[in-house]
């Protein structure tokens, strides 16, 4: 396990379609974070998990967004009925439960046309 991996790296979808992204964290990391980033901005927090428990979800996250981490390992982020404003880089990061920094995957770039 060399790091956090995300799949796919790029996704182009039509407005109104559903998309799902996958993140595989560093295996010994308990925490997993999802962020969204647009050009010129810092990563915007979406949600995070400790093991399989989703501990916090941003109020910015509409009901169209849902994330799961069913076995406390990989996680999925689903966006339903995509809108053009959802176009962004979706970043996943993982960290130990206590101490230490979060390490990022390469991200999934979503383009909604």
Partner 1 sequence: GQNIDQPTEMTATEGAIVQINCTYQTSGFNGLFWYQQHAGEAPTFLSYNVLDGLEEKGRFSSFLSRSKGYSYLLLKELQMKDSASYLCAVRGNDMRFGAGTRLTVKP
**Which stretches of the chain are DSSP H helices?**
none
Smallest gap from residue 22 Cβ to partner 1 (A): 16
CB 21 within 8 A of CB 11: yes
Q: Which is nearer to partner 1, 40 or 70 (CB)?
A: 40
Binding site for partner 1 (CB under 8 A): 33, 35, 40-45, 48, 55-56, 91, 93, 95, 98-107
Cα 111 to Cα 15, 45, 91, distances in angstroms: 9, 19, 14
Smallest gap from residue 88 Cβ to partner 1 (A): 13
Smallest gap from residue 4 Cβ to partner 1 (A): 9
No. of helices (H) and no. of strands (E), the chain: 0, 11
Q: Which is nearer to partner 1, 14 or 101 (CB)?
A: 101
Give which of 74, 66, 108 is closest to 91, Cα–Cα: 108
Q: Which is nearer to partner 1, 102 or 112 (CB)?
A: 102
Smallest gap from residue 2 Cβ to partner 1 (A): 14
């Amino acid at each position: 396990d060399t790091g956090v991996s995300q799949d796919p790296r790029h996704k182009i979808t039509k407005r109104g379609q559903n998309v799902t992204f996958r993140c595989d964290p560093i295996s010994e990391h308990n925490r997993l974070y999802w962020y969204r980033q647009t050009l010129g901005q810092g990563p915007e927090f979406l949600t995070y998990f400790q093991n399989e428990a989703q501990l916090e979800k941003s109020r910015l996250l509409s009901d169209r967004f849902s994330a799961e981490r069913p076995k406390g390992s990989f996680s999925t982020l689903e966006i339903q009925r995509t809108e053009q404003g959802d176009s962004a880089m979706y970043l996943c990061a993982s960290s130990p439960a206590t101490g230490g920094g979060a390490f990022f995957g390469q991200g999934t770039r979503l383009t909604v046309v």
